Structures are given as structure tokens and as C-alpha cells.
Structure 1
Amino acid sequence: MSEEDDGLDAGKEAFKEEAAELLTELETSLLELEEHPTDEDLIGRVFRAMHTVKGSGAMFGFDDIAEFTHEVETAFDMVRNGKLAVTKELTNLTLRARDQIRTMIEASEGKATVDHKISKSIIDSLQLLTKGTAAGSPSGHEPAAQKPSKSASGDASHSVTYRIRFKPFADLFVTGTNPILLINELRQMGSCMVVAQIDAITRLEEFNPESCATYWDIILTTTLSTNAIKDVFIFVDDMCDLHVEIVDEEGEYDEAEGYMKLGEILAARGDVKIDELKKLLGKQKKVGEILVDAGIVDSGHIASALAEQQHIKEVREQRQKTTDTAASIRVPSDKLDKLVDLVGELVTVQARLSQTAIIHGEATLTSISEEVERLTWELRDSTMSIRMLPIGSTFSKFKRLVRDLSIELGKEIQMTTDGAETELDKTVIEKLNDPLVHIIRNSIDHGIERPDIREAAGKSKMGTVHLSAGHSGANVLIKIEDDGAGLDKERILKKAIDNGLIAPDAELSEKEIFGMIFAPGFSTAQKITNVSGRGVGMDVVKKNIDALRGLVEVKSRKGSGTTITLRLPLTLAIIDGLLVKIANEVFVIPLAVVEECVELSKKDIERTHGRHVSNVRGILIPYIRLREHFVIEAEEPEMEQIVITEVDDKKVGFVVDYVIGEHQTVIKSLGRVFKDIAGISGATILGDGTVALILDVPTLVRSVETHEPVTADAAG
């Protein structure tokens, strides 16, 4: 495969990644627009997303996507111009179009098949909608040009003149990009003047036809914003130097004052230094001729500056809005994962270095070890922060889910969010999608009532599903609340007894009863629907949250609603742990669940007649002897230690020989042979090179509870 083909493939992959983000933005904007149909900023966001997908799709050979998207773009161009109103029908069609574009992208990867009948149906409906209102502005929707605004999305009542320098890198052609297509797209935005700069073109014998040696100065007058112009270059932003700035606004340069002089323009662009300019201004020639004769600037730069001067004289309407965009770079997630793995290895090596320094007691080695430790921790924190993403991107996906399900079930439901800026490790966010989908679907189907039932109960016809997130120590709490009918304890209890999950005479707390909804196959639905009722879903939630080392808690009041809280770790890569030892074996208990450590003597055991409970300040706390659980045969010390943890609001102790202390634990996954061992979530490598197992405390407690009756019978 040629270098050009490799570049084209890279460009296509870049398009797919960017298109996925644009489609997410499109869906979010459309759902907001449905609630605020005259919001010009939202209309602009929808139009730009469609316009960028169309233009970039055509550039990288996705002609079917470009052609299909053009129809939706046409509709929203009419909306921008006040010729078409945003209706539920238009929103539904655009959402369907968004889904179809995603299917087309997946089809290009062999992951889906495009049904062209759906595409035709959407296009026909859009054309029917646009032709029906093309004659004039619809009632109730004022054209954008009649509403002056200072929003970043552009203002149709004010034109802005931009100075654009588009300087592609030499290897731009290798990606299959044609810069002329980008420039032509700018021409369609308004009055445009383009000057090609050719001073970097080499002599013919040195010329490389695969290298881009030309760059362009463009003066553009348009009603669109800086962001809209930058969107044209969104797929080549890492393959060029792009400068976009506003150079004229309405009233800034009146007839008497005029626009900047030639030398001022060149200095503003950075084509000439102000000191050099001043030295030459005393000569009688025109400043452009002086600069060219002195070899300070190329004649092309002079032509470009003169073109700008002329353009500004012709265009005097403008509004100034400069946007500073932070520099960013797109990195494949697998490279980031590799970086985290390497940092994890570095943390392990640093621990060994520190331990070696302590053993040898040499001052120089200790000093180096401390410096390496400081740098390693800073690198670890920086690397982990790179992997942190705001959970708001996940929250926004569910607005569509709530909208579609409420329509399907004949309910009126709105979704509200809070704490969207809360950050979580990207790995946690990726694995959180399915559990949240199941919880929200159940809230909509089982929780929130139909409008007539809600009105009869004195509630608003509109039900609410509220998603919130916030930090709590080393964890993140995510809450899913609804104001629906709530959980029926008696009904859940009866179902659990009927299914043989509990004994008829069992006494359970409210929390334990609500916990039954996570049992496999458990469902209280009256009938099976497309949404729920088959007993699958909530058990998947529990399993997935356990896999994330998280906890699930349910609170509910009948008639008032239900709140499900997910407690999740910030990251899955590195945790703070407590090192404990039993004989020659070392274990790690996650510090997040540790409450305290107390001593356990032989006399304490005698006082409780061998029962696995300890009296801690007047409170009886059950404990698990890890020596017995893991069948470690060695002599017990006279004084043991109990590490007291809190699991599901209950205190449970773990008896060990010694508590070594806190340890920064880099989690290593176990092999296939050991990955399903109950109570073990992973392993870590200690400073001396030995391996310590990481305890999965909640699973370990449940595992022991499950086997307790058998142990009691055997003891009897």
C-alpha cells in the first residue's frame, strides 16, 4: 500500500472519529431545540454539525453520507433564514437522519447494513416539509435576520470580516486532502477574496509534487462565527497552521479614518517586524515597494495585504467576536492505556527503589529514591487526570432514550441532570453505560405512571427522571431519581418468596427487600413488554457495578419515587490499599472500605467462646478469619489484628496476622484461570517483587455468608 493510501485511510479514520462526536453533539442539540424551538444558537449548532459532516464526508470519499446529509442541512438552512419552523415532525426526521448517518458510518466498517428505503423515506419527508413552507416565513417563527444577537454562533443581522491564513503542512496531500475544496467551502459562506502565497515553492529540480508548498490568505465577510469557519478545517486542524481573526466591525473604521495602512496590516500579520518597517518609512517610495526592494517581504504578501485593505473598504458592517481556543491533540485510547500501564510499572519499580534505599541506608541513594518517588507521583497524577472525563457526555446520551421510551409508552417524561462536570476514569465511564440504561428504562417503565394516573394521584402529568453526580472522597456518587410510584415492599417480598429466593418466615430489612430487585430473573412487571418484564436487566446492573468495585443502594417511598445510588471508584488503575500479612502471604484491602484496625488476643477469642465476633467499644462486630478462608496452614501469633470494614452499611472485620501499612496499589488483572475466584479482584507487585492479592471485600463477605449455614451444620 502506498504512502498516499495510508494517509487517506488515516483521514477516513479521523472523519469517523470526528463524525461520531458531531452526531452526539447533533442529538444533544436537537433534544434541547425541541424544548426551545426558536433558540438561534441551537439552530446554528445543528446546522454546523450537519454542514461539517457533509463537507468532510465528501472530502474523504463518503459521498453517500454527504448527499444524504445535504437534505437535512437544506432544511436547517431554511430554519436559520426564518422560512421553516422547528416542529416535532422536523425534530423526529432529523433524529432519524442522525441515526441513519451513524448506520452509514458503521456500514463502511462492515458493522451494519444500510437500508436505502429508510434513507429515501427520510429524504422524501424532509423535501415534502421544506417544499410546503418554502413560499414564505412560517407563522410564529421570526427570521434570524430580524433578531440581532451577540451570540458565538453568528448573527444574521451583522456581517463580520475575517482575516484567515491557512498554511497546510507539507505532508497534507498524503492524507488525500484537497485544500481547494476547503477554500471553496469558505467562498460559499460570503464575500471572499483569496490570495495564494507561493514564496515557499522551490526550484523545479528540487520540487516535490507530493508536498504542499502553497498557503493562502483569505479575507472573508460573512454572518457566520469564528467557530463556523474553523469547523471547515476541523479534519485538518492537526495538519496545518490556521489563524482566524476579526479585522473589521461595524462603525470601527468610518469614512474619515479609513482602514489600517499597508505597513500596519503586514505588521499585524507578522509578515514584517515593526522595527524594520520604521527604518524604511523615511524613503520616498511606497511602503510596499520599499519592503519588496529591501527583500523583507515577498510581493505575494504585499498583494495579500492590499487585497485585505481593498476588501475592508468595500465591507463596513461587522461585529467583533474573538474566540480563544485551547490547543488540543487527539490521541488514540489504546496509546493512553499503554501510558497508564507504563506509569503503573514505574510506580512498582519506584517502590522497589525506595525499599532498597531503606535497606542499604545510604544517604545518596535515599535522596535519589525520594526524588524519583516525587516525580513518579506527579507523573501518576498527571497521567490519571488525562484519563478523567466529565460524566456529562454520558448523561446527554440518555435524553434521547428518555424521549423515545416516553413516546413509546404513552408517558410524559422529562430528564434533568446535575453535576455533569464531575469527572471519572474513562474506563469506568465506558462500563457505566449499560447499567445506567437498564436503570433508566426501569424507572420509565415501572416507576413513572401514565399522565392520567399521575393526575388522579395529585401529581404533575409530566414525570421526571433526574441524573446527578458528585464526588464523595475517593468515590463518585451517581444518583438516578424518579418521582414515580415507588417500590412496593410487600409485592417484592411476595415475589421473592414465590421464586424461592428467601424463606417465607425470613425477616428482612427494607434495604434487603429492595436489594431483591437485583436477583437474576426477578421481575414484578404485570406483563412482558418491549421495555421490561423478562427479569433481565437489574441483575446485569448489579454484576456490572460489582465488576467496577462499586456499590448499589436503593431507597424508595411508595407513591413518591425511587432513588438508586451508584458508588463508584474514581479510577480502576491505581488504588490506595492497606497491606496485611498472614504467615508468608500478603494481601491488599482497599483503603476506601477500611474503618479501623483493632487487636484480637487469645483471651478475646475465649471470651466469645470461639464465635467469630468481637466487642469493639460495646458493639459486636462479626469477623472473617482470612487464614481459615484461604486455608493458610501456619502457626497463629499470640496477638492478631482485625481490619474493620464497612460493607452495605454493615461493619465486618477481617482477621490477619499483621497490618503492614498503607500502600499505593497498581492493579494487575488476574489470568483466566484465577479471574473468577470469589473475593479476589486482582493483584499487585510489591517493592520486593512479591505478588499480593487484592481482596474484593463485598464479594468476599457475600461468599462467606452463603457458606455460613453449611459451616454451622457441620459444627453441630
Structure 2
Amino acid sequence: MTEDAEQLFPIEARALAESLEAGLLDLKSHPEDRALIDGVFRDLHTLKGSGAMFGHTRLAQFLHDFETAFEAVRDGRLRVSPALVELGLRACDHAMALLDGGSAEPGEVLLSALAALTLEPGAAQAAAQPDDLAAGTGVGDSLALGREAAAVPDQDGPPPWSLSVYLAGDTLTLGGRPLGVLDELRALGAQRLHPLLDRLPPLSELTPDRLYVGWRMELPGELSEEVIREAFLFHDEGLDLELERRAAGPAEAAAARGATAAADPEQPDAERRPKGSAGAMMRVPAERLDEMMDRVGELVIAEARLAELAARSGDTLLITVAEEIQRLATSMRETTMSIRMTPIGSISGRFRRLVHDLDATLGKPIDLVIEGQDTELDKTVIEMLADPLMHLIRNSADHGLETPEERRSMGKPDVGTIRMGARYSGAEVVITLADDGRGLDLGKLRAHAEKRGLIGPEDDLDDAEIRALILQPGFSTAQSVTELSGRGVGMDVVRRTIEQLRGTLEVESEPGHGTQISMRLPLTLAIIDGLLVEVAGERYTIPLAAVEHIIELPEDRAQETGHTRLLTIRDKLVPFLRLRQLLDSPGAPGPHQKVVVVTAGELRVGLTVDRIIGSSQTVIKQLSPLHAALKSFSGATVLGDGTVALILDVPQLVAFGQALDAVEAA
């Protein structure tokens, strides 16, 4: 097995575990949904099969009985219950622990619980005889007995399947295990298994590492075609498979025709067979994507320099070539960016599982509502957001939501709601997490902050500043430390992570009606479209996604003093900031200043500049640690002529201007 394959399997396994977990949580609410049942069975089957293929035999053996149990659910011999879902979730956790080299002992407890659950009276295990069950047959064996009984159809049941199959000739060379496939088929109830030797070459032409033998067998008629084909999930390349109902008498033939017509009355059987996926998926290590993004960034800088040189030369042929390279570079940049962009829904599964566990731990029924799951962010941002969002959900469940009795007394429904949403806002993504719980007690917050020495009794704080105290390191109003909270670490982690991502954090709350945390984050940390402007001879870049429009500053307003003034734009008053003054630039402004109107959160603000140079692709280079404290700049970029332009952080710049105005007013 190659090193790449060994590294890839844990990634694939965790993705399957996340899909399995999501399916189980959905089944809890929709236990009769056939598509969900099939999806859970498919994930279990794939995780077990791939585990066996990659040498994780303990993982495969542990999952076998759970796969068998969900096959019984598919066949209608076992019903989905909350207990079965809970066991499935715990099995998912144990499977990942086994993948990390954990002990197999907890799995034995889970398998015993599964056996007890599936062997309960009325659990649809009538296919196995009472004597067998009394003898201590395991759940996998008892369900296999049920399959064997079903493999012999009664007079009115569908006739059995006849299967002839040849695996690809290079199966052994590629590390495939034909015996493992046959074991899968036997587990499905295969009978009358015979080898097919018609493709064996003469002895002189026989190659020892090629597979020439095929097999013919019969399978229970109750099995669906999809289930049978799933046994060859990892051997579909070069597979030669014929599957048909065994020729039978008139009654069996009529039953088979009826089953086929019910499945699809219009399509012939061959057209109903599963086909390959229209769009194949490939997993690539994040490091390679980062490296590719770096290369694309360097390409964008080189393309900008080429365009600059071509424009100076005046050579039409060179300009044409530069424009073509610019088009290709733009296309490559957009493609690379789209690869890095990930929907926030990709991490929502772990939040649903967290809420499921909190529901049981805290004894509070909780409904998690997630909106805007298709909103995309840079993969780096998504991964960094996972832990802060987990902290916020824990805090909402533990501190924010009341007990059912308290909610009932307040006229609220017993079930508390935590709502997570994501949406685009200009050059930012806004992620909110809100609950409908008790809200923040501002008096209690202030008293606790004074007790800890964070503020003095004489400090004059408005409501927003008091609410922001919960973001201070070590701040907690919990009466005692619990497994979930009480140490004051969670919100500090949230604040530091958002600051790392150059985002902002806002806390809103209404006593008795809940709390909302809003996080504003830049769309990407790599490449953006930028508007290049000039202020006092220096060039700066403004993220183009934040720009609404550009107007000329009226001459009668050009010489006004002060950092912030108002303009009437389209019948609305818009404040504008003088970048020359904010940046403490020398010299007097020119006669024809421009106002770039940008969005900063929910605000529309104008930024006055001396000159608009144009738009360009901007590769964001992080500032050195020495300059990291300059909040008004989100980074720097290299221009086509090799010089450096600072990238303006619009929200931080607006906040800086407002703070200066507040100081002047005071």
C-alpha cells in the first residue's frame, strides 16, 4: 500500500463518519424515511469495506453487526428507534477511536447493547428460532439466520437472483481481495456458488498475478439490485457483471415482472442499473491547495508587471499577448479560489451532534436551526471557525437557554431554539448565532467585572460595552465549574480567533428574549479584486467588493476641516472620511478629490482620495509582526511596477475614524 493511500484513508473515513452521523441525526426525526435508511446503510457498508481493504480489521469487525442491523431495518425486520440511533452515534465515535488506535473494549459494550436491542420481543427478529436466540447467538448471527431463511423464497415471493461476475484481471496486482468480495456475497445470502473457468488461458500463457476466474451464484430475491452491486463498490473498474432473475415457472416469472414494473414501469432493467457518477470527486491535501494558491498569487503579480511593461512599450503585439495572459490568469485565479471556497454547511454536522449530546447532558430539549448553509468561505476560515462556533453553542445551551419548567413559566415553548445563520454583506460574510433564552443581565455582568477588577465603579460604560465584557479573558458568571463551562475560556477563544481572521465581533441581547453574537469576516485571505487609489502620492488598495460607487467631492466641501463630514448622495446623508487626515499624510489635497462610497457592516461611508488609478487583482500579503498592530490595514500587495501598496481594512478604518471624532467631540 502506498504512503498516499495510507494517509488518504483516515480522511475518507472521517468524511464517511460525518455523513453517517448526519444521517443518523436525520433518522431520529424521520425514522420512516427510506432514503435516509439507505444512506446510513451505505455509509456503514462503505466504511466497513474500506476499513477491511486498508487493513483496519478491528474497525471492519466492529461495524459488521451495525451494518447487519441496518440491513434488517432496510428489509423491514427492525424499526428505527431513538435507542438504535443513539447506539449508532456512539458506534460512530468508537469507530473513529479505533481509527486512532484506541481500545476495542468499549465496542464490546456497544455490541452487547445492540444485541439486546435487536433481540427484544417484537423487534422483528422472528426469522430466527427461539432456540437459537436462547443459545446466545449474536446479533450478526441472528440477522444472518433471518437472511438465510429469506433466501429461500416462498411460493409467492420474488424469484432469486442469478449472478455471474468476473473481477478485473489486475485486481490482485492492485491489492484487491476477491475472497473478501465473496465473503460479502455470502453475508448477503449467496448460495450455489460455482467458479467460472471459461476464461482460463493455456498454461503457457498464464500469468500468476492475473485473475482469470469468475463466479456464478444465486442470491435471495428479496435483495435489491442496488444492495448486490454495492458488494463490488471498490471493484467497479473493469467489472464484468451479469445479474438477472433466475428463470422460473410462470408464477415466479410473473412475480419478477411485477417487481420490475413496480420499480420503474417505463425503463428496461439495463437502464435502471446504477451508473458511474457524472462528476467524480477527488480529495487533495490542503497543503497542496495552499501551494497552488501561492503560485497563482505569484502569477497574478507577474501578469500585472507584464501588463505594465506592455503598456509602456506601446507594442500592440505585446499588449495583445499581455491581455491574453491576463484573461488566463484571471480564469485560473477564479478556479483556484472556487476550489478553496467551502460552504459553511460542511461543518454544520458536528454542531448538530453537539446539540444532540447537550440535549441529553443538560436535560434541555434544544432545536438547532441552521440558515445559509450554502454560504461559502475560504477553507482556512471555515476550519478556524469550527471551535469558536462550538464554544458559542455550548454557552447558549448552558447559560442562555432556560430549563423546560422555567420556559413554561415565562410563556415560552419547552424546546429552546439556537439559530445559526450565514450571509454575504459586501466584502464580508456575517455569521450569527442566537438563542431565545434568558438574555444577558447587564447589572450582573457589571458587578462581576468590578469584582474582578476589569472596570472601576466610576467607569461610565454604555450597554454595548457592558455586553462586550463577556469577551474578556477569564470572564464567567457561572456559579460553578462544570464539564461544559465556567472557566471563562470559551468566549476569549472566540474573540481571539475572530481577531486572527481580521473580523469583528458584536454582542446583542434583550433580557428574557435571548442573545445574539454576530461575526463579520473577510470573504478570503488570499486574492481579491481591488480598487487602486492614490492619497498624497501613496497608493492604497480598497477591496472592490466593498465599493458601491465613486463620485467627485464638491469643491465647496474640499477645504473643510475635521475627520468626518456628511454628503447628500441619492437623497441620503452619507458620512465621509478624509483619508489624507486619517493617515496623517503630508501636503494639501488636490482640486479634484474623489469620494469612494463603501459598505462597512450596515453603514455606508465615503472615503476621500486624491485619484482613482483603476481596478486590479490583488494578492494579499500578510504584514510583518512588527506592523500587525496597524488595524487599518489588512495586508499589502505588490503592484505591477514592483512597488508595494497597503490594503485598507474598511471596517477597521471606519471604526478608527469614529473613535477620532468621539475624541474631538469630547
Scaled to the shorter chain, the TM-score interval is 0.7 to 0.9
Whether the 8 Å contact between 1:484 and 1:560 is mirrored in structure 2 is yes
Kindly state the Cα deviation for residue 395 of structure 1 after the two structures are TM-superposed: 1.5
**Is 1:383 the equivalent of 2:340?**
no
2:176 is aligned to 177
CA 1:219–1:249 in 2, change beyond 3 Å: closer, same or farther? closer
Kindly state the Cα deviation for residue 565 of structure 1 after the two structures are TM-superposed: 3.5
CA 1:646–1:318 in 2, change beyond 3 Å: closer, same or farther? closer
Kindly state the Cα deviation for residue 463 of structure 1 after the two structures are TM-superposed: 1.3
Distance 1:556 1:340 in 2: 40
Question: Of residues 72, 83, 86 in structure 1, which corresponds to 2:66?
Answer: 72
Distance 2:202 2:80 in 1: 53
Distance 2:606 2:531 in 1: 14
Kindly state the Cα deviation for residue 443 of structure 1 after the two structures are TM-superposed: 1.4
Equivalent position amino acid for 1:64 in 2: R
Higher mean displacement: 340-349 or 497-506 = 497-506
**Is 1:560 the equivalent of 2:513?**
yes
Map of 1:449-464 to 2, 5 A cutoff? 449-464=402-417
2:363 is aligned to 410
Whether the 8 Å contact between 1:468 and 1:479 is mirrored in structure 2 is yes
Kindly state the Cα deviation for residue 702 of structure 1 after the two structures are TM-superposed: 5.6
Whether the 8 Å contact between 1:159 and 1:319 is mirrored in structure 2 is no
C-alpha RMSD of the superposition: 4.4
Kindly state the Cα deviation for residue 444 of structure 1 after the two structures are TM-superposed: 0.9
Kindly state the Cα deviation for residue 105 of structure 1 after the two structures are TM-superposed: 0.8
**Is 1:465 the equivalent of 2:431?**
no
SS of corresponding position for 1:24: helix
Kindly state the Cα deviation for residue 104 of structure 1 after the two structures are TM-superposed: 1.2
Equivalent position amino acid for 2:282 in 1: R
**Is 1:331 the equivalent of 2:283?**
yes
Whether the 8 Å contact between 1:576 and 1:665 is mirrored in structure 2 is yes
CA 1:607–1:393 in 2, change beyond 3 Å: closer, same or farther? closer
Map of 1:88-487 to 2, 5 A cutoff? 88-107=82-101, 114-133=102-121, 137=125, 168=168, 170=170, 172-191=171-190, 204=204, 209-210=208-209, 223-225=222-224, 228-229=227-228, 231-235=230-234, 240-242=237-239, 319-320=263-264, 321-324=272-275, 325-333=277-285, 334-487=287-440
Equivalent position amino acid for 1:614 in 2: R
SS of corresponding position for 1:579: strand
Distance 2:173 2:12 in 1: 19
Distance 1:360 1:400 in 2: 62
Distance 1:167 1:619 in 2: 74
Between Structure 1 and Structure 2, how many residues are aligned?
A: 622
Distance 1:521 1:540 in 2: 10
Kindly state the Cα deviation for residue 118 of structure 1 after the two structures are TM-superposed: 2.1
Equivalent position amino acid for 1:29 in 2: G
Distance 2:230 2:202 in 1: 31
Deviation readout 1:28-87 (Å, 9 max, x if unpaired)? 122222223344443333333223322322222211112222233344344445554433
CA 1:131–1:196 in 2, change beyond 3 Å: closer, same or farther? same
Equivalent position amino acid for 2:278 in 1: A
Kindly state the Cα deviation for residue 24 of structure 1 after the two structures are TM-superposed: 1.0
Distance 1:225 1:601 in 2: 76
Whether the 8 Å contact between 1:11 and 1:175 is mirrored in structure 2 is no
CA 1:79–1:707 in 2, change beyond 3 Å: closer, same or farther? same
2:565 is aligned to 614
CA 1:672–1:476 in 2, change beyond 3 Å: closer, same or farther? closer
Deviation readout 1:597-653 (Å, 9 max, x if unpaired)? 567799868643xx3333434968474756775x77x64544566655554545666
CA 1:160–1:537 in 2, change beyond 3 Å: closer, same or farther? farther
Whether the 8 Å contact between 1:249 and 1:319 is mirrored in structure 2 is no
SS of corresponding position for 2:370: strand
Question: Of residues 21, 41, 44 in structure 2, which corresponds to 1:47?
Answer: 41
CA 1:359–1:343 in 2, change beyond 3 Å: closer, same or farther? same
Deviation readout 1:288-323 (Å, 9 max, x if unpaired)? xxxxxxxxxxxxxxxxxxxxxxxx99x989845544
Kindly state the Cα deviation for residue 401 of structure 1 after the two structures are TM-superposed: 0.4
Kindly state the Cα deviation for residue 452 of structure 1 after the two structures are TM-superposed: 0.2
Map of 1:630-641 to 2, 5 A cutoff? 635-639=587-591
CA 1:351–1:316 in 2, change beyond 3 Å: closer, same or farther? closer
Higher mean displacement: 430-439 or 561-570 = 561-570
Whether the 8 Å contact between 2:578 and 2:609 is mirrored in structure 1 is no
> Structure 1 regions of 5+ residues with no counterpart?
108-113, 144-156, 260-311
Distance 2:522 2:542 in 1: 14
CA 1:538–1:408 in 2, change beyond 3 Å: closer, same or farther? same
1:57 is aligned to 51
Equivalent position amino acid for 2:109 in 1: S
Equivalent position amino acid for 2:110 in 1: I
Distance 1:661 1:674 in 2: 26
Kindly state the Cα deviation for residue 595 of structure 1 after the two structures are TM-superposed: 5.2
TM-score, scaled relative to structure 2:
0.78
> Structure 2 regions of 5+ residues with no counterpart?
127-142, 144-156, 265-271
Higher mean displacement: 173-182 or 225-234 = 225-234
Whether the 8 Å contact between 1:555 and 1:564 is mirrored in structure 2 is yes
Whether the 8 Å contact between 2:78 and 2:123 is mirrored in structure 1 is no
Deviation readout 1:257-297 (Å, 9 max, x if unpaired)? 999xxxxxxxxxxxxxxxxxxxxxxxxxxxxxxxxxxxxxx
1:305 is aligned to none
Equivalent position amino acid for 2:297 in 1: G
CA 1:542–1:254 in 2, change beyond 3 Å: closer, same or farther? farther
Equivalent position amino acid for 1:177 in 2: G
Kindly state the Cα deviation for residue 455 of structure 1 after the two structures are TM-superposed: 0.6
CA 1:329–1:589 in 2, change beyond 3 Å: closer, same or farther? same
2:622 is aligned to 669
Whether the 8 Å contact between 1:443 and 1:465 is mirrored in structure 2 is yes
CA 1:209–1:347 in 2, change beyond 3 Å: closer, same or farther? farther
CA 1:256–1:219 in 2, change beyond 3 Å: closer, same or farther? closer
Equivalent position amino acid for 2:478 in 1: A
TM-score, scaled relative to structure 1:
0.73
**Is 1:86 the equivalent of 2:80?**
yes
